[in-house]
Amino acid sequence: MKERLLGFLFVGALLVVAVNVLTDRIHVWLFSGSLWFQTHWYIPFLIVPAASLLGLAFSLGFFRPQSPRWADVLALLAVALLIYLTLGANYACWHYCF
Domain that holds residue 88: 9-97
Q: What is the pTM for the complete model shown?
A: 0.79
Q: Is residue 51 part of a domain?
A: yes
Q: Is residue 47 part of a domain?
A: yes
Q: How many domains does the chain have?
A: 1
Cβ pair 49, 86 in contact under 8 A: yes
Tell me if residue 61 falls in helix, strand or coil. Answer: coil
Q: Is residue 74 part of a domain?
A: yes
Cβ pair 37, 16 in contact under 8 A: no
pLDDT, tens digit only, all 98 positions of the chain: 888 899 999 999 999 888 888 888 888 888 778 788 778 877 887 888 899 999 999 999 899 998 899 999 999 999 998 888 887 655 555 555 44
Q: Is residue 93 part of a domain?
A: yes
